[in-house]
Amino acid sequence: MNFLKKVMIFSVGLVVSSFCFSKENGQNIKVEPCGFDYDVNNYYCKTDKIKVFEGNIGRKSDFNKDYSVIKIDDGKYYRLAALNQRSYKVYPLNYQINKKKANFNYAVEKDELCVSGDLYSYRDTYLNSKACFKIIDNAFVKVSIVEDISQKNNSNSLVFIKTPISSDFFSKCNEKNPVKKCEQLESSNNRAYSLSELKKISPDFLNIFDNPKVDSLNANTFRFLPKMKDGFYSIAEKYMETDEGTSSEFYLIKLKPTLNVEKIGDYYSIDNYGVITYKDKNGKLLKRNLN
């Protein structure tokens, strides 16, 4: 009997310890998630961080109606988290942000939080950049990124393709995620522009694309690859109506140093090393290193 009591007491202790409980406020703090990538120490669930979150309960919301943005001092960096003042859930942002360059933009009436400066994470580092995020499906999701904003080149206003990527990015994403989330990821990782959108960024784009080789494509959208050693590339997409529905045809456009257009079929993929895989006019699978 004594043994049974001990087991019951131990079990209760385990259950209680799985929540972050604030005696002062009488509320449960829940962090989603505690850490990222190879963060084995669960940074955001450490005792001192939980105390910081508890200390912000009841604070006036300053982001997306119900959230309070919390800046955590991490030496040379800031870390950010958003506390929902209704549910007491905490949503960390997966970046360390250089204090010296940090600039934050968010408001209680907006659902988007933007950070400018140097942002560091295990697989995703941006220097002199501006990244914007929204809370989607209980996590911060990057919805846009403007890289290297310190340079005055107009092309830096573009959102470049994030590799690895493939032309069926959206359909693959939608197999595991809601449409809304995939639309957000498409916007930040695989952004497509119409000519009218490019004109708003800079009239220079009309001069670049004012070429018979490009005009003859009648392309609907253009995507832009990160700058490669071999030049500056865009992928044009043309929508095709067939008996089976709508399909796409893709063209690789080398913009600099010399304009060149090449048809790459109905599918392409690009890996982290700048190697593009595509089909020639005979359907043969080809690979080329753009770096």
pLDDT of 107 strictly over 70: yes
Q: How is 13-74 classified by DSSP, letter by letter?
A: HHHHHTSEEETTTTEEEEES-S--TT-TT-GGGSHHHHHHHHHTTTPPP-BTTTEEEEEEEE
- Determine what percent of the chain is predicted with pLDDT higher than 90: 38
Q: What is the pLDDT of residue 100?
A: 86
pLDDT of 241 strictly over 60: yes
What are the strands of the beta sheet with 260-265, ordered from one edge?
A: 221-224, 232-242, 245-256, 260-265
Bridge partners (DSSP) of residue 134 are 141
85 within some domain: no
Residue with the bigger pLDDT between 9 and 126: it is: 126
pLDDT of 26 strictly over 60: no
Domain, as residue range, for 285: 195-289
What is d(CA 229, CA 288) in angstroms, rounded to the nearest whole number? Answer: 13
224 within some domain: yes
Q: What is the DSSP letter of 99?
A: G
244 within some domain: yes
- pLDDT bin (cut points 50, 70, 90) of residue 17 is very low
What are the strands of the beta sheet with 275-279, ordered from one edge?
A: 165-166, 268-270, 275-279, 285-289
What average pLDDT does this structure show over 208-233?
84
- pLDDT bin (cut points 50, 70, 90) of residue 200 is confident
Q: What is the pLDDT of residue 203?
A: 66
Q: What is the pLDDT of residue 9?
A: 38
210 within some domain: yes
Q: Are 231 and 257 in contact (CB under 8 A)?
A: yes
Please write the tens of the pLDDT for every residue from 155-179. Answer: 446 788 988 999 999 888 888 888 8
Q: What is the pLDDT of residue 122?
A: 65
Query: 141 is written with which tokens?
Result: 């999701």
**Phi, psi (rounded to 5 degrees) for 54:** -60, -40
268 within some domain: yes
129 within some domain: no
Q: Residue 273 corresponds to which amino acid?
A: Y
Q: Are 44 and 90 in contact (CB under 8 A)?
A: yes
Bridge partners (DSSP) of residue 173 are none
Choose the most confident range, by mean pLDDT, from 8-12, 31-35, 112-116, 210-214.
112-116
8 within some domain: no
| Number of structural domains the chain divides into | 1
What average pLDDT does this structure show over 85-111?
92
274 within some domain: yes
Residues 6+ apart with CB under 8 A from 61: 67, 68, 85, 108
* Buried/exposed code over 86-107 (b: 16+ C-beta within 10 A; e: otherwise): eebbbbbbbbbbbeeebeeebe
Of the listed ranges 91-95, 143-147, 234-238, the one predicted with least confidence = 143-147
pLDDT of 147 strictly over 80: no
Q: What is the pLDDT of residue 18?
A: 33
Nearest Cα to 119, choosing from 138, 139, 87, 142? Answer: 142
